[in-house]
Amino acid sequence: MRTWLRVAVVTLCVCIPLTTATAQNPTPDAVRPGWALALHGGAGTIPKDMDPKLVEAYRASLRHGLELGRGILAKGGTSLDAVEAVVRFFEDDSLFNAGKGAVYTHEGTHELDAAIMNGATLACGSVAGVGTVRNPISLARLVMEKSKHVFLIAAGAEAFARAQGVPAVDNHEFDTRRRWEQWQKALHDDKFGTVGCVALDTQGHLAAATSTGGLTNKRWGRVGDVPVIGAGTYANDRSCAVSCTGQGEQFIRNTVARDVAALVEYRSLPLADAAHAVIDGKLQPGDGGLVAVSKTGEIALVFNSEGMYRGAADAGGRFEIAIWGE
């Protein structure tokens, strides 16, 4: 009996200081803003002498995407729903190289890639090389939630889409005059066209989603970083959510998204420092950039190219869009 009492006393002595310390030093969750959101519409060479009407069109689309995500998160919606909705919007906007505005392959078709990840569970879904699905990001989410797999490609991904009741569209649905002219000139896209969104919701959960049409004139079933979990897309509630855009092969080689998250998780670096360490320290100038949100609501919009279509918002009132270094 005396032994039991001694153990009880020791336990109480240990618990009281811990409780006091917690009250004096709030946890990251206690200071986290209610929600946070960041998005991008591609990075690369973006001429500053672009037609002002086109610049305004991009700004209007970025603004709308940001408002869409903000509306979901501010009402208590999940980060997964927010990132999917924002990326779906960009997929339907022909300004961007995803969905409707996807670039042409060497064969004159469109091959679409997308990925989504749930930071709360590390569940993720990816599709690559699909050509008959209007919104690849939603198919990626179905892979995550309705299959036991992570990554489906080409005909297999499309067969899965049919099994899930996703209607097929003709590949020419993704045609646009602007992309056709780029293909005819056999030029690389004037931006590393990818769209993406990352979010922290009011429950403290993170999510990331990314979608792309790849490179203009790509061949042999080329797939970039977007659907590769840890390269172009990553989310983990223990660190951050990341969506990348740029020279896909470089982002794959350097596992950019996961590297940023690892620096936050294991070295406790501030999010912006982690993003700069990877983008500036491991990639070549002009390779691209990323958007990220941490578990504490930090937002990072980092790129080493001429510009990146981007936006950020949070529960503290932040709401901004930008293209170049402004």
Cα–Cα distance for residue pair 126/233, rounded to 1 Å: 10
Phi, psi dihedrals of residue 64, rounded to the nearest 5°: -65, -45
Candidates 132, 194, 216, 233; catalytic one: 194
Helix 79-91 to helix 136-146 angle, to the nearest 10 degrees? 150
Residues 6+ apart with CB under 8 A from 210: 87, 114, 115, 116, 137, 194, 195, 196, 197, 226, 227, 232, 233, 243, 244, 245
Task: Answer whether 274's CB lies under 8 Å from 229's CB.
Answer: no
Cα–Cα distance for residue pair 120/60, rounded to 1 Å: 32
Report the relative pairing of strands 233-235 and 112-118 from DSSP bridges: unpaired
Count CB atoms within 10 A of the CB of residue 280. 12
Task: Answer whether 44's CB lies under 8 Å from 310's CB.
Answer: no
Cα–Cα distance for residue pair 134/144, rounded to 1 Å: 18
Task: Answer whether 224's CB lies under 8 Å from 210's CB.
Answer: no
Cα–Cα distance for residue pair 104/283, rounded to 1 Å: 26
Cα–Cα distance for residue pair 294/171, rounded to 1 Å: 37
Give the torsion through C-alpha atoms of 118, 120, 123, 127, to 10 deg.
10
Phi, psi dihedrals of residue 102, rounded to the nearest 5°: -60, 145
121 annotated active-site: no
* Residues that are catalytic: 194
